[in-house]
Amino acid sequence: MRVEQSNFNNPKKKIFILFPDGVGLRNFAFTRFKEIGDERGYDITYWNNTVFDLEKEFGFHQVQIESTRIHVKTPVLNQARKRVELALSRKRNNDNIYPTYRFPLPWNSLKNIVKSSFVKFHEQFRATPSGWQKLMDQIYAAERSTDRYAQLKQQLKEHQPDLVFCTTQRATQGIAPVLAARDLGIPTACWIYSWDNLPKGMSTIETDYYFVWSALMKEQLLHYYPKVKEHQVFVTGTPQFEPHYDEGITLSRKRYCEQHGLDEHKKYICFSGDDTTTSPLDHLYLRDTAEAVRQLNDQGYQLHIIFRPVPVDHSNRYQEVLETYNDVITTIKPLWKPMGQQWNQVMPTKEDFALLVNTCRHSELVVNICSSMVFDFVIHDKPTIYPNYEQPELTKGIRDIGQNYRYVHFRTMPDDAVVWAYQKEDIYTGIEQLLQGKVHPVTTCKQWYGVINHPIDPDKASERIWDGIGKLLVDD
């Protein structure tokens, strides 16, 4: 590795923060991450593969990746790699949960038949460690053969960073930049993006070092990826929750309600929407929550629902519910911005952090299908209701939400960390009991939060990431 010995704060250390896609923006552009790195004397450049202009928006120094064209073979090779990983996990753990992470293969054209047959063959006959490695080698060979790889390598030669830090392990767009760095002897590190990613076979990138949320995630990383050694993993917590601890972005109840046309004398239930994959009938759970609120209001409560849709859901599935129950629902959309014509070019904004923080702060509780929003709210001592029942409208081919709660990342969850709604009526009962203080899931949920995230000083994740970067640059 081409790294000289130095102390942690050597101003000559140049760090490339790689954004293969927009998911890393929230953690590494909208928090104090860069500010802390600047204070420690690092020379920080954002290696930007997104349409979000960090220089224009924030004045951050960036090197734009001009070509976003990965090799034509990479997506199908990566799909085979993921299916092989899941098959390996099923065999290693004797656990049939892993096949449920798979998405259906398309068979609706000759091209898709060829691709899907390739994936299925590897899943059934090449689900071995050597079969996995062969697929990884093929992906790397494909990406190294592209003009994009050559351009990325040239950028690295020109700028000579001391470390490339990739902000997500999931994106195939990150493979070529990381390969180019490793081929030049530049140390690489990768952030594991989400609390559920490791069991799902979502790691497409291999680096020299890894940064994870918790001791649990470190254990999972070492288990699912035996090539990784303990000294390569840093446990830091996640920056995505840091804004919740920032009193400087909080609004008074009066100001928050004025901004969104709300009555400050009412109590608010947040319904946090989910994507169509996780909760295809999500609009019906919003309907059930609205009906519960109407019943409670008939008994003298003054309740209203704040509906926060998932940012990338552009369907109209909620429209009928929103119109029918407009007396008890107000939609407050996340502050994301379209930066292109495609769905994955809708990018988060820093302002949305403040909106989420204040929505948590001024709501009594959240109703949501199985997302990490439970942690956003518990930071503010607010409880969660998790619906866990099938809708009567569930038909063949529509995914049951109950499958979500059986996933590996929920196995650390104490049963009483949330209020469960096992039937429609439980939403009504749960809201009433929470408002009356008859159930108290917050204490247990905070303990769970301490397992999923770093249990000590969760507001200092960015500092611990920089501590890790400093250490690996000295030790390498």
More reliable by pLDDT, 110 or 2: 110
List the structure tokens of 451. Answer: 């397992």
Is the Cβ–Cβ distance between 195 and 452 less than 8 Å?
Answer: yes
Statement: residue 248 has pLDDT above 60: yes
Average pLDDT over residues 55-66: 96
Statement: residue 68 has pLDDT above 70: yes
Statement: residue 201 has pLDDT above 90: yes
List the structure tokens of 191. Answer: 């952030």
Q: Supply the pLDDT for residue 49.
A: 96
Residue ranges of alpha helices (H) inside 44-174 are 54-58, 74-93, 110-125, 129-144, 147-159
Statement: residue 211 has pLDDT above 60: yes
Q: Supply the pLDDT for residue 7.
A: 42
CA-to-CA distance for 36 and 469, rounded, in angstroms? 12
Q: Supply the pLDDT for residue 345.
A: 65
Q: What is the pTM assigned to this prediction? A: 0.94
Average pLDDT over residues 330-339: 89
Sorted by sequence, the CB contacts under 8 Å of residue 406 that are 6+ apart come out as 97, 100
Question: What percentage of the chain reaches a pLDDT higher than 90?
Answer: 89
Average pLDDT over residues 299-320: 93
Using 50, 70 and 90 to split pLDDT, how confident is the model at 341? low
CA-to-CA distance for 24 and 35, rounded, in angstroms? 16
Is the Cβ–Cβ distance between 177 and 152 less than 8 Å?
Answer: yes
